[in-house]
Amino acid sequence: MVGHIIIEGVTPCGECGRYPIKRVVGEACIVEADVFRDGHQLLKASLLWRRADAEGFNEVPMQALANDRWRGQFVPLDNVPHIFTIEAWTDRFGSWLSDFIKKVHAGKAVRGDLLEGIALLRDSNGYAQAEDAELILRAIAQLTPLNDATAALAIVTQPELTQAMGRALVRPDKTRYEPAVRVIVDREQARFSAWYEIFVRSQGDQPGHSGTFAQAEQRLPAIRDMGFDVVYLTPIHPIGETNRKGAGNSLHARDGDPGSPWAIGNQSGGHTSIDPALGTIEDFDRFVAAANRLGMEVALDFAIQCSPDHPWVKQHPQWFQHRPDGSIKYAENPPKEYQDIYPIDFDTSDYEALRQELLNIVRYWIAHGVRIFRVDNPHTKPVAFWSWLIAEVQTVRPDVIFLAEAFTRPKMMMALAKAGFTQSYSYFTWRNTKVELTNYLSELTQPAVSDFFRPNFFANTPDILSPILQTGGAPAFKMRLILAATLSPAYGIYSGFELCENEAEPGTEEYLASEKYQIKIRDWNRKGNIKEFVALINQIRNANPALREFTNLRFLTTDSEDIILYAKATADLGNVILVAVNLDPFQAHYCTAFVPPEVVGVAPGQRYRVTDLLTGAVYEWGDRNYVRLDPVIEPAHILRVDGRL
């Protein structure tokens, strides 16, 4: 049959099906497409969707918008891959009825047209369900003897008849969009989570002595009480001796210096071994079980690199890049040098064995209860490798989450997300001004980026102590925490943030006396901590569904460049949150905050009540509102809209 129907401009589609889009269980997938044909006949379209492992499609009628644009949606309920496509066909009865109505109203002779309509009814009858078939047969009997156009029109325009004809599956020219669009459906934790990063060895209480998993387990209730649901562990494997880094990234380690945990491997083992100073695999299992009992998950660092003492160096020398003199090249990111680390050579002729070994490492830790992996520097490994590995893992365990720690070029960050990474680090850490934040978040929350890229807004990391945190004191820490936790459903902090640790190596973003190279013993209750504030922010996140979403972010207008204002709301406006943040940690600022009435679901000019979830204060708001924020008191309002006045 000649193809009359065109389906194009499908969204979301992942560059015409080259890569999957992402959703979470229970999140609506709204699909749109341009659907049209030659001539003036009417069309119908359906959205077809199913689990990737199912046989038959579920069908949802699509609604016509303007300019040949159609829309439908489905809600995946299972943490497994899905697919969808679109099917369109000529609405033969609807097209005939449209013309018939016009001719009757114009007073034209319609007996021949009526016979065509009766023939369409007869053709459709064989495809109709029992009750519909009875209705169609009755209409045929009524229409056959009629010569009265007005009487015939009354019969053929009965809603019951037109609905029955719409249900009759007569689609001789149906056209299906190809290829079907793949959808990765993750569990809710992939979208909404609060991460807390720790070095296990720093969870003890004796300076110079490594903390253990047993001691780290004792800290879990405090981490839970701050509201975190993911405990991310920096590498827990044996640490190399050769070229071990000393305190402050010194090239010469002193006796007792523990070295960098990212220099993985020594005589005690490699990526599937535990640093003996931390405990045993049984201790690790107990730690994971304890976290789970408290409602938290353990995320493990997956760093594909080795110390010179890693067993692979002797067992698989072909997996490393050798210089002309036979030595193995250590890792570099000029001007930084990592003399204690050997990178892996993915161009090795033994690539198949290498990638299988790396897959086995991930499977090993999954068998020990790990469902979340934070991947170190994935942008220095082939994207094709990640696409393969993540697919291999998630085919069996779709609940496994991968976070890409890739502070690199934007296109590479996006490519890794397209390859399958569940979450991604972002540039949030370096976006400080109102313009920077607005532009960056506007990019991330809009399709097509939002269909595959899920940012995790870390406020700090062991590598990054941003200038504003170095100089802004507790107000800066509170301000950046609020931004991270309310702009993005997924965010994290590195331990010490709640203590407002802000001493840096001069002229750098590196922590002074960095925990990467030494054991750090802290007084978790020391004066000036903001633990209760962190807990409050996480309570607010958990209590307000609007903050569990990302693409519902809407920036609003203020007349101050120092105060940013944005709204988040559920689709039914049952939960609306307004956030105003003073971006200057050094002084108070004021502004007029403009809130369009449709944002909060009120009529123009109508006043409404808001409650500041940080302080409990209640205000009356409307279209224009005075805001003054003193960072010494509180750097922000987090306002819940409670009702009209």
Evaluate the CA torsion angle 250, 256, 262, 266 in order and state its sign.
Answer: positive
Return d(Cα 615, Cα 628) in angstroms, integer: 14
| 376 a catalytic residue | yes
Relative to beta strand 175-176, strand 181-186 is unpaired
Return d(Cα 614, Cα 619) in angstroms, integer: 13
Residue 473 is encoded by which pair of tokens?
A: 């004191």
Return d(Cα 578, Cα 597) in angstroms, integer: 12
Of 91, 99, 340, 376, the catalytic one is 376
For residue 449, give the nearest of 8, 14, 9 by alpha carbon. Answer: 14
Those residues whose C-beta lies under 8 Å from the C-beta of residue 428, and which sit 6 or more positions away, are 440, 455, 457, 458, 483, 484, 487, 488
Residue 285 vs residues 155, 282, 323: alpha-carbon distances, Å: 72, 5, 41
Find out whether 361 and 272 touch, Cβ atoms under 8 Å: yes
**Position 518, amino acid:** Q
Return d(Cα 378, Cα 409) in angstroms, integer: 12
Running DSSP on this structure, what letter comes out for residue 571? Answer: T
Of 99, 275, 301, 405, the catalytic one is 405
| 340 a catalytic residue | no
**Position 145, amino acid:** P
| Residue positions counted in the chain | 645
Per DSSP, the residues of 588-628 read -EEEEEE--HHHHT--TT--EEEEETTT--EEEE-SEEEEE
Those residues whose C-beta lies under 8 Å from the C-beta of residue 463, and which sit 6 or more positions away, are 509, 510, 516
Find out whether 434 and 561 touch, Cβ atoms under 8 Å: yes
Relative to beta strand 608-612, strand 636-644 is antiparallel
Q: How many CA atoms lie within 13 A of 166 on its CB side?
A: 18
Return d(Cα 470, Cα 465) in angstroms, integer: 7
**Orientation angle between helical segments 111-125 and 92-105, nearest 10 degrees:** 160
Residue 246 is encoded by which pair of tokens?
A: 């000393």
Return d(Cα 108, Cα 128) in angstroms, integer: 31
Find out whether 636 and 579 touch, Cβ atoms under 8 Å: yes
Find out whether 323 and 329 touch, Cβ atoms under 8 Å: yes
Residue 18 is encoded by which pair of tokens?
A: 């080259």
Tell me whether the omega of the peptide bond preceding residue 179 falls within 30 degrees of 0, making it cis.
yes
For residue 172, give the nearest of 93, 100, 116 by alpha carbon. Answer: 93
Find out whether 177 and 85 touch, Cβ atoms under 8 Å: yes
CA 558 to chain centre: 28
Find out whether 529 and 499 touch, Cβ atoms under 8 Å: yes
Residues marked active site are found at: 376, 405
